[in-house]
């Protein structure tokens, strides 16, 4: 099954709460599902809902707690995730119960989890959306990859957001496993637009990911630009120095600026790479220190 085959269904979908990349790529997926006459219920937290509302004001939304990530910006992603194992495990158990309640309440036909291991139903088919079939772990962390694989196998199917030749995610989306999976190609909110050919902005700097890391990235990048040559996109959690051009907090207004940019500067996150695949805009990307996925993708696409 692929997204294009899902029609006239009642769908429950939820994105991971690690930055807003999962929200961004779900916008493109939800747009397609709605065009195919599906009824979509989005389970998300308040910050995620505020973004979705810009694109889909008439969807059904339910409050759904995120996973307990707490990033300090010290570049030790692995240690920070390990320290959260106990609360993460408890959240997964609770989430499975909540998901089943939502399935029954909304008479759901299909559950879609964007990298949420606990967002799964035993009653109806449940799809796990990811680009990371294989996690970028070191040899001594192989147990983490095994747990990842075991959790994915609980789902009816895996939708991998990449081409079959894995040109965007490389070895992250490559698998020889017999697990039921479908390569569904890249998904981006920019697929909702007609991309303008005329570029009216010199550079756009996109600050994304956990706030502690985003603030450091902003400070590093501003030393490379003068205040008139770059416009900045960042969440309200980021402090922007006086004198720099800051774009509106509205995602749709930010979209217009990004589509109008001759050059984009950003982190090497996978959702950004999918956006660039749609935009075809020249970009300079930087990995978040200690974030192995971004480090791998940076080296793959540099």
CATH of the domain at 196: 3.40.50.2000
For residues 67 and 179, state if they share a domain.
yes
Tell me, what's the pLDDT at 54?
97
pLDDT value at residue 50: 95
Give residue 176's pLDDT: 66
195-225: b (≥16 Cβ within 10 Å) or e:
eeeeeebebbbbbbbbbebbbebbeebbeeb
pLDDT at 248: 72
Mean pLDDT by 10 residues, the chain (302 residues): 96 92 96 98 96 97 84 50 65 94 98 96 97 74 74 94 96 82 96 94 89 87 79 85 80 95 96 97 92 93 90
The closest alpha carbon to 287, from 272, 240, 94, belongs to: 272
Q: Where are the alpha helices (DSSP H) in the chain?
A: 21-35, 46-55, 77-82, 85-106, 142-153, 211-222, 251-259, 270-279, 292-301
Assign residue 143 the CATH number of its domain.
Answer: 3.40.50
Detail the DSSP E strand segments found in 126-263. 126-130, 157-160, 181-183, 204-206, 231-233, 245-246
| Number of structural domains found in the chain | 2
Of 132, 123, 67, the closest CA to residue 294 belongs to: 132
At 225 the pLDDT is 77
Domain stops at, among 143, 164, 187: 187
Residue 165 tokens, joined? 């030749």
Residues 249 and 180 in one domain: no
Instruction: State residue 81's pLDDT score.
Output: 52
Given this model, what pLDDT does residue 133 score?
83
Same domain (yes/no): 287, 238: yes
Whose CA is closest to 74, among 210, 241, 265? 210
Looking at the structure, tell me whether residues 75 and 108 fall in a common domain. yes
Residue 208 DSSP one-character state: -
**Segments forming the whole domain that contains residue 152:** 3-187
């Amino acid at each position: 099954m692929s997204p294009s085959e899902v029609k006239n269904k009642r769908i429950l979908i939820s994105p991971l709460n690690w930055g807003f990349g999962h929200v961004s790529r779900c916008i493109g997926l939800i747009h397609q599902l709605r065009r195919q006459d599906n009824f979509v219920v989005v389970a998300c937290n308040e910050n995620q809902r505020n973004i979705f509302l810009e694109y889909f004001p008439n969807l059904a939304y339910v409050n759904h707690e995120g996973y307990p990530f707490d990033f300090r910006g010290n570049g030790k992603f692995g240690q920070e995730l390990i320290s959260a194992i106990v609360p993460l495990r408890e959240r997964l158990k609770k989430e499975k119960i909540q998901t089943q309640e939502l399935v029954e309440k909304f008479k759901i036909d299909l559950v879609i989890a964007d990298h949420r291991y606990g967002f799964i139903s035993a009653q109806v088919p449940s799809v796990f959306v990811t680009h990371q079939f294989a996690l970028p772990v070191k040899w001594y962390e192989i147990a983490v990859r095994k747990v990842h694989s075991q959790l994915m196998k609980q789902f009816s199917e895996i939708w991998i957001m990449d081409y079959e030749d894995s040109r965007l995610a490389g070895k992250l989306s490559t698998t020889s496993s017999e697990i039921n999976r479908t390569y569904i190609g890249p998904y981006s909110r920019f697929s909702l637009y007609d991309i303008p050919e005329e570029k009216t902005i010199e550079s756009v700097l996109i600050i994304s990911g956990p706030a502690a890391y985003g603030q450091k990235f902003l400070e590093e990048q501003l030393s490379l630009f003068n205040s008139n040559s770059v416009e900045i996109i960042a969440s309200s959690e980021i402090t922007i120095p006086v004198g720099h051009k800051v774009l509106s907090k509205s995602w749709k207004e930010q979209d217009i600026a990004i589509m109008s940019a001759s050059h984009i500067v950003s982190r090497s996150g996978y959702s950004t790479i999918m956006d660039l695949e749609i935009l075809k805009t020249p970009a300079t990307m930087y990995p978040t220190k200690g974030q192995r996925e971004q480090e791998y993708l940076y080296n793959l696409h540099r």
